[in-house]
Amino acid sequence: MTTDHAAPPVPRQRGGRRSVDSGGPPVPRGSQGLGGLAGKVVVLGLVAGIAVWGAFPLIGARAWPGLAVLVVVTALIFYVYLSGRHIPAKYLLPGTLFLIAFQILPVLLTVSTAFSNFGDGHRGSKQDAIVAIRNASITQVEGGTEYGLTVATRGGELVFLLVDPTGAAFLGDADGLEPLPAGDVTVSAGRVTRAQGYTVLNLGQVGARSAEVTAFSVPTANGAIQSTGASRASERQANRIYDESCDCIVERSTGNRWTADNAAGSFVDSQGGHLAQGWRVGVGFDNFTRALTEPTIAGPFFRTLVWNFAFSLGTVFTTFALGLLCALALHSPRIRFRRTYRILLVLPYAMPSFAMLLVWRDMFNADFGLINRLFNLNVDWMGQPWTARFAVILVQLWLGYPYMFLVATGALQAIPNEMNEAALVDGATPGQRFRRVTLPLLMVALTPLLIASFAYNFNNFNAIALTTEGGPFPADNTTIGATDLLITYTYRLAFGAQGAQYGFAAAISFYIFLIVAVVSAISFRRTRRQEEVYG
Amino acid sequence: MTWVRRVGWRHAVALLAVAFSLFPVVFVLSAAVNPLGTLNSTALVPTDVSGENFDDLFRTRPFESWYVNSILIAGLSSFAAVTLSMCAAYAFSRMRFRGRRVGLLSLLLIQMFPQFLAIVAIFLMFTTIGEYWPGIGFNTPWGLILLYLGGALGVNTWLMKGFLDTVPRELDESATMDGASHAQAFYRIILPLVAPILAVTGLLVFIGTINEFLMANVFLTDLDSKTLSVGLFGLIEGERNNNFGMFCAGSLLTAIPTVMIFQFLQRYIVSGLTSGAVKG
Amino acid sequence: MRIRTAGVVAAMALALAAAGCGDDKPADSGTGQQQTGGSLVIWADEKRTVALKPFAEKFGTDNGVTVEVKAVTKDLQTNFVTASQSGSGPDIVVGAHDWIGNLVQNGAIEPVQLSAAQKSAFQEIATKAVTFNGQLYGVPYAVENIALIRNTDLAPTAPATIEELVASAKQLKAAGKVSELMCLQVGQNGDAYHIYPLYTSGGGYLFGTKSNGDYDPKDLGVGKPESVAAFTKIRALGEKGEGALKRSIEGGNSISTFTGKKCAYLISGPWAITDIKKASITYDITPVPGFAGGRAAQPFVGVQAFYVASKGKNKAVAQEFVANYLTKTDLAAALYQAEPRPPALAAALDQVKATDPDAQKFLDAGKGGAILPAIPEMAAIWDPFGKAEAAIVGGADPNATITAAAKTISGQINK
């Protein structure tokens, strides 16, 4: 007794029926109706309003490319919705715009980093690195004076009012230092508090002109006087400066030089050492070849790949099996408390998944965990490879089978009873009925979901990272563990040792992506054939 | 005997499954009501019952704000995602156009790219966005929702398309024959028929968004504007913290909206879920 | 119909635009800065945000600046670098001193110029920790290291060596008073930070030091015979030996095992004290004991500091806050009250010592400790070293394990 809300099952026809119009079902013109028209006007009006609102900051900042993109997109939206054709586009456009902006674009940007050495120590441009090297080398001049600083303005222009340790006041500006007559200034607590002809700025006002204040320097014989915050200043000098003529960094105090290695993106000296601050350069296909050829990476790759497949297949299979079993069990109308059972069975799905992953990890703790305590075992779950693998799949089973249960329940209810009854009349046993009638029909409906679940679990980072962190690790190899997935392995390679190596990680992810994509594409092809058999 | 064969085994399976499902949840519950609030001092069955952890949770953290934030963000995201996905699924199912098959497959494949790598790109994008339009930049729930909407088209579209495929074309055509536009046919005829799949997808996206951590961690940094997943994680982050009891209390409270929504949608979800998809 | 639709739409758009125009223009002319003179954004992890907020906000109201303290729950360092590079980073970030190497190589922070007088106000070890390549990069505010915390009810006397500790713990266990010998967190993947005192006592070292005292990444101590010897001793304490070190004791349960009175000896830092006090345990803090006949056990000394972001939008106020405001005594003392880690400011420490002897005891336990290396090469150590430790605690052969770990580490460093 199924309560069907949908239309009664009718054979779906494939292949033969093609709409006349290339865009879809025939659309008589001018049949929109008032409600539809009003809706369209409102929505398009909103779009236009948003576009205009969004355009103002772009115009203000003279961001012409951004403005161009905005205009093009708005024009596209208007064109699609106002024209009578392009029906599919009307439905696809909103979702696709978001997809492109927030999924495709980041992915493309990330893949482009695979062709560079982007990572820790190579994040910015060469100019960024030069500035950073210079600023990191600014030191106080030997025997230089420390001043109490007051930032002031004279006619809108920034000046420094300085007080040296003896209490004498000076004016510092772009021309240098000049003593100020003592009568014109009030000095208190080592700083100028009032000065005739100058407006003293408080901290808030300094903050408003922060960039100017930090860049301001008063030239002196040995260097320049620069500020620290808004109340102190001292004479400083940069020790390492960039010399354009030799494309190198020169260290003033020692005379050391570091020449720019534009292929590697860092400044190197003659002994092979390099400065910490580097910059991002393109490296072509280096990252891709490195992933394939470096022995420490290529070696374990295959083993991890095998386990990755086993893990995702195992998860899909076990969750599906248990979910289907429960769905079958609760399928009969004769079972009471069905709704209660359903809610209780779905509870794992409702609990926050990362919380439950951490709880399960603690439950598997060898000495204090619930599993060992409850069942009086002494298994070193996370310490042995196979027990760890078992534990991880068990956790995934717990987390994932409610979802399979839900969809299997729905699918079962959709199978018309006539099929089963016909089989029964023909003398089939329950087992045969299930295998020959129910299961094939189920698979047609559920195979896309199974494939999607496989793809999701293939890259299920949290499932491993929060439970075993990839371990246990064999004593002789600390980079690849027994439960490591390709994605956790990539994460560790990229972010674990020696700083982040995004470019390299992006290259490896690209390979992972290729593998999953190919497998999924092949599975989908086979599903299509299956669909066509069953109509 | 026949009762056992017909019905009894069903109860047995269901009970075993329920036990399997529930025992970690019972553990979480007992940790939540355990005043000592640490992992070691918790057994499966609660020994000491007190609401201390719940009190502490609300007192030491802006838990209510987290709750409201999460529900707001997850609710809006799931509503918008279902809408976008449904429209796209309708197009994929009902219409034939160039790139349809490729588009369907690529929807699935795009989401297979690991998220944590895209963070750098997303930072760049949202920095630019935040410069021009601070209202949807970092530290705003709207920016986060926009980001989530990027993932609206994906597996869910597949799910919906499959269900839409089962609604016969004749219905569309008879509607348009009667003078309705394609949009009207969509709203008036098709949508009500696929209510179950809308409910399921909405629930799935809701759950997924509440659990999302990576982006929410970066986007919402004010203590008050965090979501539940980030806030709860912060409770036990850094091994130096032993707020296990509070963490469990928070997790239990997080599950409540999901269970409520599921209960509310149960009649949609289970009946006629893939109705018509499987037929002879 | 279409033309009509378009016309209506255009009219609506103009209306909306006009409405939007009116209130948008002033906001769009700037880049979001407040009229009161800029805003200061500070990033910290959750615990520190809660402690820091009132002080930061007071600074803001006193000076007419809007100060925002934001909590980034996870991966604060990585997110800071990424955000900084893309231009949406904070002005100040709070973190451990061993971040400095990585932050400098990414150009994310700038040196802070303190006057000689200001520098001398801090404990020497604190200023040393935040000095990198001869420059002072952050302003320290707390010094921390691990020590031996023991339950004085169960263990009235402080053990002088680790062997004494184990013997005493075994007696307690035999008497049924405790269930674990020692709470030193190891975990499935090891914990280099906590095992370091025993490692140094056994004779091992991580990096050699150059003549000027800086760490020398070319001199890797892991893999040398001393390191293997040290780990052989550690293995004897492990699961296949005395059973004092166990992989099942990890960060999440070591402190709670101690507060649950299941072990009498805890090796942890000042962060554990709050929980211990809450559990009303009478405790005492002494230095981590080393091996009998071995060298002194050196714990890692870590310093928490404030850094000025080099790409922050308000560097002037950031430097004022960090260099001139944080160096005041009462502020440091108040921060201590909010989160009990020994202050780096010497005067603040004196102030705090009077009411809370724990701070001084921790610092005493850290005397002679090794400053946590801040060089970027240190990042290559944590993971392999920890995993090697876990394997050895589980009973693996020290020679093979350490050799493999050394190979991994040097491979990473020399890349």
DSSP for C320-386?
Answer: IIIIIITT-HHHHHHHHHHS---BSBHHHHHHHHHH-HHHHHHHHHHTTPEEPP-SGGGHHHHHHHH
Q: Hey, what are C48's tokens?
A: 């520190």
Contact C16 A48 (CB under 8 A): yes
Assembly ipTM: 0.83
* Residue A535 pLDDT greater than 60, yes or no: no
Of C21, C310, C377, the CB nearest to A132: C310
Alpha helices in A228-294 (DSSP H): 286-293
Residue C405 sits at the chain A interface (C-beta within 8 Å):
yes
Which CA distances in Å does B34 have to A505, B29, C256? 43, 9, 14
Identify which has the larger pLDDT, C369 or C337.
Answer: C369
CB contacts of A205 in chain C (<8 Å) are 37, 64
The pLDDT value given to residue B271: 52
Residue C80 sits at the chain B interface (C-beta within 8 Å):
no
The pLDDT value given to residue A6: 38
Confidence of residue B68 (pLDDT cuts 50, 70, 90): very high
Residue C319 sits at the chain B interface (C-beta within 8 Å):
no
Contact C412 A500 (CB under 8 A): no
Residue whose entry in the numeric block shows the structure tokens 């995702």 = A312
Residue among C155, C116, C153 nearest C136 (CA): C116
* Residue A27 pLDDT greater than 50, yes or no: no
Question: Do the beta carbons of residue B159 and residue A1 sit within 8 Å?
Answer: no
Residue among C110, C33, C100, C106 nearest C309 (CA): C110
- Nearest CA to CA, how far is C118 from chain B (Å)? 32
CB contacts of C275 in chain B (<8 Å) are 242
CA-based nearest residue in chain B for residue A410:
B273
Confidence of residue C170 (pLDDT cuts 50, 70, 90): very high
- Nearest CA to CA, how far is C277 from chain B (Å)? 13
Mutation target among C28, C41, C46 for the B interface, most CBs of B within 10 A? C46
Which tens digits make up the pLDDT trace of C216-244? 888 899 989 999 999 999 999 999 998 89
Residue whose entry in the numeric block shows the structure tokens 């390191």 = C227
* Residue A316 pLDDT greater than 90, yes or no: yes
Tell me which H or E stretch contains A179.
Answer: strand A176-179
Q: Determine the average pLDDT of the residues in B206-230.
A: 85
End-to-end CA distance of chain B: 34
Q: Determine the average pLDDT of the residues in C334-338.
A: 78
Residue among A491, A483, A478 nearest C386 (CA): A478
Q: Parallel, antiparallel, or unpaired: how do β-strands A218-219 and C138-145 relate?
A: unpaired
Which CA distances in Å does B264 have to A339, B21, B261, C41? 12, 21, 5, 43
The pLDDT value given to residue C289: 92
Of B120, B217, B240, the CB nearest to C72: B217
Q: Parallel, antiparallel, or unpaired: how do β-strands A185-188 and A176-179 relate?
A: unpaired
Mutation target among C3, C5, C9, C76 for the A interface, most CBs of A within 10 A? C9
Of B22, B94, B180, the CB nearest to A344: B22
Residue among A287, A297, A288 nearest A480 (CA): A297
Mean pLDDT computed over every residue of chain B: 80
Contact C310 A135 (CB under 8 A): yes
CA torsion sign for B177, B179, B184, B188 is negative
- Nearest CA to CA, how far is C279 from chain B (Å)? 9
Residue C88 sits at the chain B interface (C-beta within 8 Å):
yes
* Residue B197 pLDDT greater than 80, yes or no: no
3-state SS assignment for residue A269? coil
Question: Do the beta carbons of residue C267 and residue C149 sit within 8 Å?
Answer: yes
Mutation target among A77, A103, A336, A444 for the B interface, most CBs of B within 10 A? A103
CA-based nearest residue in chain C for residue B129:
C88
Which CA distances in Å does A19 have to A22, A327, B172, B185? 7, 39, 12, 16
Q: Hey, what are B206's tokens?
A: 């809701």
Helices B115-132 and C76-86, axial angle in degrees (round to 10)? 50
3-state helix, strand, coil in chain B (%, to 5): 75, 0, 25
The pLDDT value given to residue C8: 59
Rounded to 5 degrees, φ, ψ at A170 are: -135, 160
Contact B226 C256 (CB under 8 A): no
Measured between alpha carbons, how far is C91 from C43 in angstroms, rounded to an integer?
A: 8
Which tens digits make up the pLDDT trace of C12-63? 666 655 555 444 443 333 343 344 467 899 999 877 887 788 888 888 888 8
Contact A60 C29 (CB under 8 A): yes
What's the CA angle centered on A160, arms A156 and A164, to 5 degrees? 160
The pLDDT value given to residue C25: 41
| pLDDT cut 90: percent of chain C above it | 32
Beta partners for residue A282, in sequence order: A116
Contact B113 A54 (CB under 8 A): no
Of C50, C87, C253, the CB nearest to B127: C87
Assigned architecture for domain B61-275:
Orthogonal Bundle (1.10)
Which CA distances in Å does B61 have to A27, B34, B53, B144, B225? 57, 19, 12, 22, 12
Q: What is the CA radius of gyration of chain B?
A: 23
Q: How many A×B Cβ pairs under 8 Å?
A: 366
Which tens digits make up the pLDDT trace of C348-399? 888 888 888 888 899 889 888 888 988 888 888 888 899 899 989 988 899 9
Identify which has the larger pLDDT, C402 or A446.
Answer: C402
Q: Determine the average pLDDT of the residues in A345-360.
A: 87
Mean pLDDT computed over every residue of chain A: 82
Instruction: Give C50's DSSP letter.
Output: H
Residue among A382, A434, A403, A401 nearest A314 (CA): A401
Question: Do the beta carbons of residue A261 and residue A267 sit within 8 Å?
Answer: yes
Residue among A162, A172, A161, A150 nearest A218 (CA): A172
The pLDDT value given to residue C235: 93
Measured between alpha carbons, how far is B63 from B55 in angstroms, rounded to an integer?
A: 10
The pLDDT value given to residue A497: 60
The pLDDT value given to residue A174: 85
- Nearest CA to CA, how far is A347 from chain C (Å)? 26
Q: Can the peptide bond before residue A472 be classed as cis, meaning omega within 30 degrees of 0?
A: yes
Residue whose entry in the numeric block shows the structure tokens 């509440």 = B210
Mutation target among A346, A396, A446 for the B interface, most CBs of B within 10 A? A346
Mean pLDDT computed over every residue of chain C: 85
Helices A338-350 and B9-33, axial angle in degrees (round to 10)? 40
Measured between alpha carbons, how far is C199 from C194 in angstroms, rounded to an integer?
A: 9
Measured between alpha carbons, how far is C168 from C181 in angstroms, rounded to an integer?
A: 9
* Residue B240 pLDDT greater than 50, yes or no: no
Helices B100-110 and A502-534, axial angle in degrees (round to 10)? 130
CA-based nearest residue in chain B for residue C32:
B134
Measured between alpha carbons, how far is A492 from A511 in angstroms, rounded to an integer?
A: 16
Which CA distances in Å does B261 have to A353, B119, B200, B211, B251? 17, 31, 10, 16, 17
- Sheet architecture: strand order including C265-268: C265-268, C147-151, C283-286
Tell me which H or E stretch contains A113.
Answer: helix A105-113
| pLDDT cut 70: percent of chain A above it | 90
CA-based nearest residue in chain B for residue C256:
B38
Residue C72 sits at the chain B interface (C-beta within 8 Å):
yes
Of C32, C46, C259, the CB nearest to B234: C46
The pLDDT value given to residue C225: 92
Which tens digits make up the pLDDT trace of A62-116? 878 888 888 898 888 888 888 877 778 888 888 888 888 888 888 888 888 889 8
Q: What is the CA radius of gyration of chain C?
A: 26
Residue whose entry in the numeric block shows the structure tokens 């760049």 = B124
Measured between alpha carbons, how far is B210 from A349 in angstroms, rounded to an integer?
A: 12
- Nearest CA to CA, how far is C116 from chain A (Å)? 9
* Residue A2 pLDDT greater than 50, yes or no: no
Q: Which chains touch C (3 or more CB pairs under 8 A)?
A: A, B
- Nearest CA to CA, how far is A60 from chain C (Å)? 7
* Residue B89 pLDDT greater than 50, yes or no: yes
Contact A490 B114 (CB under 8 A): yes
Which tens digits make up the pLDDT trace of B21-64? 998 898 888 888 877 666 665 666 767 777 888 888 888 888 99
Of C45, C74, C256, the CB nearest to B40: C256
Helices B141-149 and B115-132, axial angle in degrees (round to 10)? 130
* Residue A320 pLDDT greater than 90, yes or no: yes
* Residue A22 pLDDT greater than 60, yes or no: no
CB contacts of B222 in chain C (<8 Å) are 68, 70-71
The pLDDT value given to residue B239: 47
Tell me which H or E stretch contains B261.
Answer: helix B244-270
Identify which has the larger pLDDT, B125 or A444.
Answer: B125
Question: Do the beta carbons of residue A385 and residue A482 sit within 8 Å?
Answer: yes
Q: Determine the average pLDDT of the residues in B138-143.
A: 85
Measured between alpha carbons, how far is A252 from A78 in angstroms, rounded to an integer?
A: 62
Question: Do the beta carbons of residue A476 and residue A299 sit within 8 Å?
Answer: no
Contact A478 C408 (CB under 8 A): yes
C223: left (phi over 0), alpha (psi -120 to 50) or beta: left
Domain coordinates in residue numbering, chain B: 1-50, 61-275
Contact B39 C253 (CB under 8 A): yes
Confidence of residue B208 (pLDDT cuts 50, 70, 90): confident
Residue whose entry in the numeric block shows the structure tokens 């593998």 = A515
Cβ-proximal residues to C185 (8 Å cutoff; 6+ apart), any chain: B239, C191, C194, C249, C250, C251, C254, C267, C268
* Burial class, A356, CB count within 10 angstroms (exposed 0-12 / middle 13-18 / buried 19+): buried
Stated length of chain B: 280
The pLDDT value given to residue A30: 47
Q: Determine the average pLDDT of the residues in C306-317.
A: 91
CB contacts of C398 in chain A (<8 Å) are none
Of A82, A205, A206, the CB nearest to C6: A82
Alpha helices in B9-154 (DSSP H): 9-33, 52-60, 63-94, 100-110, 115-132, 141-149
CA torsion C149-C152-C154-C160 (nearest 10°) is 60
The pLDDT value given to residue A8: 39
Cβ-proximal residues to C7 (8 Å cutoff; 6+ apart), any chain: none
Question: Do the beta carbons of residue C109 and residue C133 sit within 8 Å?
Answer: no
Q: Determine the average pLDDT of the residues in C98-124.
A: 89
Chain C, residues 259-278, CB within 8 A of chain A, namely none
Q: How many B×C Cβ pairs under 8 Å?
A: 92
